[in-house]
Amino acid sequence: MTDVPPGYFLALAGLMFTIGVIGVLVRRNAIVLFMFIELMLNAVNLVFVTFARMKGNIDGQVLVFFVLVVAAAEVVVGLAIIMLIARRRASANVDDVRLLKW
Amino acid sequence: MSEWPFLDIVVFLPLAGTLLIGLIPRARVGALRIGALAVTVVTFLLSLGILMNFDTGTADFQLGTSVEWIPEWGISYITGVDGVSLWMVMLTTFLMPLSVLASWSVERRAKPYFIFLLTLETGLLGVFVSLDLFLFYVFWEASLVPMYLLIGIWGYRNRVYAAMKFFLFTLVGSLLMLVAILFLYFSFPGSPTFNYQELLGTPLSLGTQRLLFLGFFASFAVKVPLVPLHTWLPDAHTEAPTAGSVMLAAVLLKLGAYGLIRFAIPLFPDAARELVPLVMTLAIIGIVYGAAVAIVQRDMKRLIAYSSIAHLGFIVLGVFVGSIQGMSGGILQMLNHGLSTGALFMLFGALYERRHTRRIADYGGVARSAPVLAGVFLFVALSSLGLPGLNGFVGEFLVLLGTFFRYRWWVVPAAFGIILAAIYLLWAYKRVFHGPITNDANLRIPDLRPREMVMLAPILVLIAFIGVYPKPFLDRIEPSAQKVVDQLRDSSALPEAAVGDADAP
Amino acid sequence: MTTDAVLAPFIIGLPLAGAVILLLFGKRMGRVAGVIGSATVGVAFILGVISFFSLLSRPEEERAVSRHLFEWITAGSFQAGVDLLVDQLSIVMVLVVTGVGALIHVYSIGYMHGDERYPRFFAYLNLFVAFMLVLVLADNLLLLYVGWEGVGLCSYLLIGFWFERRAAANAAKKAFIVNRIGDFSFLLGILLLAFTVGSLTIGGVNSAAAGELTAGTATVAALLLFGGATGKSAQIPLYVWLPDAMEGPTPVSALIHAATMVTAGVYMVVRFSPVFEASGGTALAVVAWVGAITALWAALMACAEYDIKRVLAYSTISQLGYMFLAAGVGAYSAGMFHLVTHAFFKALMFLGAGAVMHALAGEVDMRKMGGLRKAMPVVGLTFLAGVLAISGVAPFAGFFSKDSILASAWFEDQYALWGIAVFTTLLTAFYMARLFFRVFEGDLKVPEGAHPHDAPRSMAAALVPLAVLAVIGGVINLPRLVTLEHFLEPVVGESHVPTGLTPWVLGGIALLVGIAGILIARAFYTTTAGATRRQRLQRLAPWFVTAVRNKFFVDRIYGRGIVLPGKALASFSSSVLDTKVIDGVVNGVAWLIGRGAEEGRHVQTGYVRNYAVITLLGVVVLVGILFLRIGVA
């Protein structure tokens, strides 16, 4: 297996993360937002794995597992909330849910 | 017998007593009162053991225990009393049963009321006996919460504002002290410790000392309170229920003065010495200002509150003049003020229960309908204005004497306070008790009831006793007072504030 | 231990015990309370007499015995014990206090009869006697101060005895506070002496005054002590409380505000005469001049007063002025002599005035009275004895004592003081005779509904002995016999009125002036022509009459000049400094935080995207800082 330079991985991760950020900022559908958040998380995971490989230890990989687990938990809770909101409002638009303000 | 850890039992007995109160059903108010009274009386009786086992001849800490608590951080449970704290402990245990008696009319939510009162007692006692700064801070804050609740829940109309003000003032001061404590903790050269007696030797530069002193001072000055940090006091006093006012005036205010004597001066003697003129000025301003403002109060409880500011000014003055007379007088005055102002609040509380008004103008001619109440009130007022032969005079005179010995005519404005004291107390007395009865509601004010007499009699006896024969009190105070005086004065100076030539500037 | 020293604590303890018993159980006793109250003081008087003779039986130089009871205040090197001193000076005071006191107690049994707080009255009177005895028997300045303020307290209680009356309540408060102003000065004096002398015992202070005390310190100390005396003994500028104090029951005025308490200042000056002497003239001159001016000032006001008790009050102030004048020229025994005789005749006149009030349903305005001598002969005659005594008519008691003061002033070359004092004698005789003529002479005139009757037996029982003393009291100091002067010599030093013709001439002048005063009053107040004469005289200087009638506006000046501004300043502190400035800052901080939060919460839009943007910006900023700190590699 030829060595791909770490820079490539990091660039890819940066690209994914940026897409994720822009997505979160411009889209309004809660489900889509979720997907973008997952994209960002995975970008971070990629960074972790990259560095774990670079440094030759497994700390980064361990952290990836944590991120995965937390992300899964988050999705469970988040989707449940989205489901409940969708049931009440018949929409998944986050701008409709702006009760928590001043 | 002396092996018995009286001190620690006394401190925690009231807290244990709250469990007893907890077992009594909420509706049985009578049983709750009796329970609280029993706990506090037993606490007082046990505290007599402290008094009897107290060794008069030494300035060291006595009767305490010392165990490790959180050794990793150098936190231990260390207690002990000396001549400074002895009378404060006794005052607290002595006044608490009387405060319970003064709370007889509390019907609303009596259960938590008595639980908080007992918690307060443990908190206050803990402050006076702690010899570990961490432990001290815990108790210091612990005494704040029950008082806050007592004012906020059982107070009068404006109670929430008053309770909040009390809490915030004290808390801001306390946080500065916490920072100072932590700084001191990290500055200690040996293994980290909060042990007061070990920390005494911490080498600090003058600049650091000054900052740390001010940190402690901020907390204590709020509590005392020194002008201009005093405005929480009139509100808190006025809005607090009777027992709250009594404990607030008699013991809580003393925490500030006690802290100055126990911590601020011995830990940072150089800074204390340097800042003496500042503190003395504040104290004298407090004496005159508190008394002057008291004169024009229209609300009796506010008036007594301002009189406390003036009296506490005397105490702080005595503590900081750096002579044994001033220090002993100041410490004795802490006890005296607790007795006389506590009694004043009890008496006015009794009057309030009868008439439900605090406005002086609503009274007049009460001496006719309630002669015993009026007589007792006058007696206590005379003690408060420092009539020779009663307790207030002994303390005030020693403070003035100590001030004169060291600072000559600084004493004049302070002594002027005794004129003002006569004015505000007698003027108020005249408006409440003398004159014709102009308000029909004052025609039939019942005189003191037996319960109230039982509650006041011990205080009256002590007021007269200390006035005539203060020796047993002064004897126990003096060695410890001398130690603090030595710390405050330059170590190169003579250890004793000799009268006359040796002391001339 | 000797009898006199053993008895001393009991002399104080008896009335004190009486006071405590009467306060606690008096309510159930009824009339017995008066008997108990009188008995304790009476027995104390007997003990005083025994001590006196026991003292006399000793050689002159051993007539001062001190007794240590217990330690009182001890702190560091400062020490003040409860020590009693029985010596020539204090025993004289003890005899006056208990003797006159006992008579007045007996009088009060009748006078206060029927008052609802009868037992309380005797409790207070007993307490007063106890504190007064502490004052005179104290062997150190601090204990003396206990008595000093204690009598002030009793004065407060007794002036305000009828506290339902607004005037009485106000007078009581005023008396206490004005006295406190004096006590403030007194206390500073004590502090100064405690510091410079190191001991507050009478012996210690006086021997230090004779020795190491510098003149400057002694002057300051003496003047501070004298400041206390001006309060207690009602001298300029603190005399204003005494006329108002007449709101109290009359026996109180007789006992406290004439015979005993107000003389405490004189006693104190005499007691600490070495301190006053050590100041090298200044302090004594101040004492003498304050005394003389007060004597004149008060006598002037007495001439224009219509309230019989207030006339006597001004007269008391004036006579106290004489005593200070005596002390100020170094004639301590003359001052003490006048103190004793004054106690007799002024108590007598107060009790007489009380009997008149008793008979006339409490009336005090002399314009509504007249010709009472026939209706109440005992009171009239005894009162006349008092008038003649105070006017300095020989051979009544006042003649001797006043004459010795005048002579002392003359022989100290204080001719101005002597002149003032002689003129005051004229005024004194005038206003006392005026009082007597208006009340007791002429046609019978009483307020409506009053039925004048002579004094009941218990009151007469006090009036007659006092009248006798007022007549013959002068014998205790007849020149060149075994005298008070001689008796007091070891304490106050030798007095030096020379022999020869001059003293006789001076005495003659004083006598003539006194008689002249009486005659002038007679010309004005006994005939119908007198009224027109009075009017003509008043028209000569109307402004002066107005000033005198208004008591020289002193009360108003104090009220407007000190009390009002003081109150205004206090109100300002309370309502502006405290509530606006300090609390303003506190509440202002709270308000700022509140407002800040109020505004700041608008950041919370509720849009998730807004929060995300803010988060992103935060990340960018943080990363930016990181790069800047580390530097882009």
Query: Do residue C194 and residue B499 have CB atoms under 8 angstroms apart?
Result: yes
The full set of domain ranges for chain B reads 1-274, 275-505
Chain C touched by A33 (CB under 8 Å):
yes
pLDDT in tens, B439-463: 888 888 899 999 999 999 999 999 9
Q: How many residues does chain B have?
A: 505
Comparing CB atoms, the residue among A25, A33, A97 nearest residue C613 is: A25
pLDDT in tens, C211-249: 888 899 999 999 999 999 999 999 989 999 999 999 999
Radius of gyration from C-alpha coordinates of chain C? 31
Nearest-CA distance B293 → chain C (Å): 5
By the 10 Å C-beta count (0-12 exposed, 13-18 middle, 19+ buried), A12 is classed as middle
Nearest-CA distance C202 → chain B (Å): 17
Euclidean distance between CA atoms B253 and B249, whole angstroms: 6
**Three-state SS for C496?**
coil
Q: Which residues of C touch A (CB under 8 A)?
A: 601-609, 612-613, 616
Can chain B be said to touch chain C, i.e. do they have 3 or more Cβ pairs within 8 angstroms?
yes
Which residue out of C608, C615, C619, C623 would a mutagenesis test of the A interface target, given it has the greatest number of A Cβ atoms within 10 Å? C608
Q: Which residues of B touch C70 (CB under 8 A)?
A: 469, 471
pLDDT computed for residue C479 by the predictor:
63
Query: Do residue B469 and residue C573 have CB atoms under 8 angstroms apart?
Result: no
Q: What is the mean pLDDT of chain A?
A: 88
Query: Do residue B430 and residue C170 have CB atoms under 8 angstroms apart?
Result: yes
Instruction: Tell me what the mean pLDDT of segment B313-329 comes to.
Output: 94
Sign of CA dihedral C464, C466, C472, C476: positive
Nearest-CA distance C73 → chain B (Å): 7
pLDDT in tens, B459-486: 999 999 999 999 999 999 999 999 999 9
pLDDT computed for residue B191 by the predictor:
84
List phi, psi (to 5°) of B66: -145, 115
Instruction: Tell me what the mean pLDDT of segment C25-32 comes to.
Output: 85
pLDDT computed for residue C480 by the predictor:
58
Question: Which two structure tokens, joined as six digits, stand for B43?
Answer: 């606490």
By the 10 Å C-beta count (0-12 exposed, 13-18 middle, 19+ buried), B398 is classed as buried
pLDDT in tens, B196-243: 988 887 888 888 999 999 999 999 999 999 988 999 999 999 999 999
> CA-based diameter of chain A, in Å?
57
In chain C, which residue's Cα lies nearest the Cα of B429?
C173
Nearest-CA distance A12 → chain C (Å): 19
Chain C touched by B479 (CB under 8 Å):
no
Residue B135's contacts (CB-CB under 8 Å, 6 or more residues apart) are B69, B75, B76, B77, B78, B126, B194
Query: Do residue A99 and residue C608 have CB atoms under 8 angstroms apart?
Result: no
User: How far, CA to CA in Å, does B168 sit from each of B127, B177, B318, C485?
Assistant: 19, 14, 28, 71
Q: Which residues of A touch C603 (CB under 8 A)?
A: 102
By the 10 Å C-beta count (0-12 exposed, 13-18 middle, 19+ buried), B440 is classed as exposed
Q: Are B328 and B485 in contact (CB under 8 A)?
A: no
User: How far, CA to CA in Å, does C170 sit from each of B381, B435, C234?
Assistant: 17, 9, 17
At residue B498 the predicted structure's pLDDT band, cuts being 50, 70 and 90, is: very low
User: How far, CA to CA in Å, does A40 sit from each of A12, B348, C146, C623?
Assistant: 11, 70, 87, 17
Comparing CB atoms, the residue among A21, A25, A98 nearest residue C606 is: A98
Nearest-CA distance C164 → chain B (Å): 4
Can chain B be said to touch chain A, i.e. do they have 3 or more Cβ pairs within 8 angstroms?
no
Instruction: Tell me what the mean pLDDT of segment B338-350 comes to.
Output: 95
Instruction: Tell me what the mean pLDDT of segment C480-505 comes to.
Output: 75
Contacting partners of chain A (3+ CB pairs under 8 A): C
At residue C567 the predicted structure's pLDDT band, cuts being 50, 70 and 90, is: confident
By the 10 Å C-beta count (0-12 exposed, 13-18 middle, 19+ buried), C233 is classed as buried
pLDDT computed for residue B504 by the predictor:
38
Which of C272, C396, C412 has its CA nearest to residue C338? C396
By the 10 Å C-beta count (0-12 exposed, 13-18 middle, 19+ buried), C23 is classed as middle
pLDDT in tens, C528-556: 777 788 788 788 878 888 888 888 888 88
Instruction: Tell me what the mean pLDDT of segment B51-67 comes to.
Output: 88
In chain A, which residue's Cα lies nearest the Cα of C600?
A102
Chain C touched by A7 (CB under 8 Å):
no
User: How far, CA to CA in Å, does B270 sit from each of B261, B273, B276, B288, C490?
Assistant: 14, 5, 10, 28, 54
Nearest-CA distance C362 → chain B (Å): 19
Euclidean distance between CA atoms C18 and C20, whole angstroms: 6
**Three-state SS for B3?**
coil
pLDDT of residue B83 exceeding 50, the answer is yes
User: How far, CA to CA in Å, does B152 sit from each of B161, B292, B303, B345, C245?
Assistant: 8, 29, 21, 18, 47
Q: Are C377 and C452 in contact (CB under 8 A)?
A: no
DSSP C358-397: HHTTT--BGGG-B-HHHH-HHHHHHHHHHHHHHHT-TTSH
pLDDT in tens, A15-53: 999 999 999 888 888 889 889 999 999 999 999 999 998
Instruction: Tell me what the mean pLDDT of segment A69-93 comes to.
Output: 88
Query: Do residue C149 and residue B367 have CB atoms under 8 angstroms apart?
Result: no
Q: Which residues of C touch B418 (CB under 8 A)?
A: 180, 183-184, 187
Q: Which residues of A touch C608 (CB under 8 A)?
A: 33, 94
Which of C614, C624, C523, C490 has its CA nearest to residue C206? C490
Which of C222, C228, C206, C75 has its CA nearest to residue C139? C206
pLDDT computed for residue C576 by the predictor:
86
Nearest-CA distance A90 → chain C (Å): 19
pLDDT in tens, B143-163: 999 999 999 999 988 899 999
Which residue out of A25, A27, A93 would a mutagenesis test of the C interface target, given it has the greatest number of C Cβ atoms within 10 Å? A25
pLDDT of residue B493 exceeding 80, the answer is no
Euclidean distance between CA atoms C177 and B429, whole angstroms: 13
Chain C touched by B171 (CB under 8 Å):
no
Query: Do residue C606 and residue A21 have CB atoms under 8 angstroms apart?
Result: no
Q: How many CB atoms lie within 10 A of CB A100?
A: 9
Q: Which residues of C touch A33 (CB under 8 A)?
A: 608
Q: Are B365 and B433 in contact (CB under 8 A)?
A: yes
AA identity, residue C150? G
Comparing CB atoms, the residue among A28, A97, A98 nearest residue C605 is: A98
Query: Do residue A102 and residue C601 have CB atoms under 8 angstroms apart?
Result: yes
List phi, psi (to 5°) of C367: -70, -20
Residue C181's contacts (CB-CB under 8 Å, 6 or more residues apart) are B419, C231, C238
At residue B361 the predicted structure's pLDDT band, cuts being 50, 70 and 90, is: very high
In chain C, which residue's Cα lies nearest the Cα of A37?
C612
Comparing CB atoms, the residue among C145, C181, C198 nearest residue B419 is: C181
Query: Do residue B404 and residue C164 have CB atoms under 8 angstroms apart?
Result: no
Q: What is the mean pLDDT of chain B?
A: 90
Query: Do residue C570 and residue B292 have CB atoms under 8 angstroms apart?
Result: yes
Euclidean distance between CA atoms C405 and C326, whole angstroms: 5
pLDDT computed for residue B492 by the predictor:
43
Q: Which residues of A touch C612 (CB under 8 A)?
A: 21, 24-25
Q: Which residues of A touch C604 (CB under 8 A)?
A: 100-102
> CA-based diameter of chain C, in Å?
125
Nearest-CA distance C310 → chain B (Å): 22
First to last CA, chain A: 57
At residue C493 the predicted structure's pLDDT band, cuts being 50, 70 and 90, is: confident
Question: From the centroid of its chain, how far is CA C631?
Answer: 88
Euclidean distance between CA atoms C333 and C487, whole angstroms: 9
Instruction: Tell me what the mean pLDDT of segment B91-99 comes to.
Output: 95
Q: Which residues of B touch C164 (CB under 8 A)?
A: 365, 368, 434-437
Interchain CB contacts (distance < 8 Å): B and C: 156
Q: Which helix (H) or strand (E) holds C343?
A: helix C332-359
DSSP 8-state symbol, C454? P
Chain C touched by B278 (CB under 8 Å):
no
pLDDT computed for residue C358 by the predictor:
87
Between C65 and B457, the higher pLDDT residue: B457
Nearest-CA distance A100 → chain C (Å): 5
Nearest-CA distance B324 → chain C (Å): 6
pLDDT of residue B27 exceeding 70, the answer is yes
Query: Do residue B415 and residue C196 have CB atoms under 8 angstroms apart?
Result: no
Euclidean distance between CA atoms C223 and C245, whole angstroms: 26
Q: What residues pair up with C258 in beta bridges, in sequence order?
A: none
Q: Which residues of B touch C177 (CB under 8 A)?
A: 419, 422-423, 426
Q: Which residues of C touch A28 (CB under 8 A)?
A: 609
pLDDT in tens, C414-428: 899 999 999 999 999
Chain C touched by A102 (CB under 8 Å):
yes
DSSP C440-453: HSSS-B--TT----
Residue given tokens 């007679």 in the structure block: C522
Q: Which of these ranges, B128-137, B444-453, C407-416, C472-481, has the smallest mean pLDDT? A: C472-481
Query: Do residue C573 and residue B401 have CB atoms under 8 angstroms apart?
Result: no
pLDDT computed for residue B494 by the predictor:
39
Q: What is the mean pLDDT of chain C?
A: 89
- Predicted complex: ipTM over 0.95: no
